[in-house]
Copies of this chain bind each other. A is one copy, B any other.
Amino acid sequence: MAVMTGPALSGERFSVVYRIAASGPEALARARDICIEQTIEFPLALVPPGPIRDGIVGRVEELNEGDGTALATISYAVESAGVELTQFLNVVFGNTSLQPGVRVEGLDLPDALQVAFGGPRFGVAGLRALLGVPRRPLLCTALKPMGLGVAELAEVAYRFALGGIDLIKDDHGLADQPFAPFAERAERCAEAVRRANAETGLSCLYVPNVGAPADRLMRRARQARALGAGGLLVAPGLMGWDGMRALAADPAIGLPILCHPALLGGFIAAPDGGIAHGVLFGQLARLAGADATIYPNWGGRFAFSRAACLDIAQACRAPGPLPPIVPAPGGGMDLGRVPEMLAAYGNDVVLLIGGALHQQGPDLVGNCRRFRALAEAAAA
């Protein structure tokens, strides 16, 4: 290795905004460390001038200080990500995620790179077209509790669909357990929803959870499609971000994707570490093919702030080459929260209400109709 020739680079770069818990010269030093850690991970002194030193190594484009932290914008050659989402995430935050006091606050990708990753197949408009719902907020609920048999789940699905819910998803805890095996559940629930649709004239979609083993993920999703599923629930924290992207990209599947936040909480547990809510549940979900992104709304069972939730919604809709997607706030919402949510999010929202639909009383169909009436009134 007498010379390090280094590659020919296009000059196209993407950038990441990191919040660094430091100021002054220390902030700049830490930003420069990130430039190396996320790329060559190699003593800079041993790299001669040339494309590696000048192009592959990250570049501090901007450093803005305030109240003891610094926002560093660092750019990377698009070639370092090699058009693979896994490697893109690796360049964004792979090793640096292991450092204390560094948080990803923003991503800025050239249009061509976003398009190369694929993004959502449907987005807001595509999902609305599938559901035949041009204007009003979309209604979603979940099949639960875990432990029910297939016949019971299918019966619940039937009643939800009869009551006018748009998207009936498996609870994310329904996988392939012995008490409700995936294939049987998907087939029976899809059939129940079809039967209800025939009665109502609506286009409710059944959205099974494809929490499959990695080597069976694509197969399970294709099977879901064959069995009549109208969408897929995917948790990238469990299946990998690229698992979701692959499901969205596969033309043999071709179903809308609801992104579930399970196991992603690690990234938001530290105020000065991890990945900002809007980037994680909004920007990344959209980039990786979600058509709607589920997250806990403020004031429910979880502790997301109103500002964090609105950041997510903003990232779902930000201008760009990929279709906008639908925020799907949930996590302990009930009918009483609907007006407030509509005021905050507007009509391009999936209102996800789970357990509370059962708590309204034993008449599930009636409970769903009340939910729907609220949404229809909002769009009137």
Contact = CB atoms under 8 A, between A and B. Distances in A.
Copies per assembly = 2
A79 B262 CA distance: 19
Given A90-B173, A147-B4, A84 B269 contact: no
Contacts of A268: 98, 266
A94 B266 contact: no
Contacts of A109: none
Contacts of A211: 84, 86-87, 90
A175 B173 CA distance: 33
A171 B80 CA distance: 13
Given A264-B98, A266-B274, A145 B47 contact: yes
Interface residues on A, range: 35 or more
B46 A97 contact: no
Contacts of A270: 269-270, 273-274
Given A42-B355, A355-B43, A214 B238 contact: no
A148 B4 contact: yes
A343 interface: no
Interface stretch (A65-73, A176-184, A194-202, A366-374): A176-184
A235 interface: yes
Interface string A41-57: 11100110001100110
Nearest to A156: B1
B358 A86 contact: no
Given A94-B263, A235-B94, A146 B303 contact: no
B84 A265 contact: no
Interface of A: 1, 4-7, 33, 37-43, 46-47, 51-52, 55-56, 79-82, 84-87, 89-91, 93-100, 142, 144-149, 152, 155-156, 171-173, 175-179, 211-215, 217-218, 235, 237-240, 242-243, 245-246, 250, 261-270, 272-275, 296, 301-304, 331, 354-355, 358-359, 364
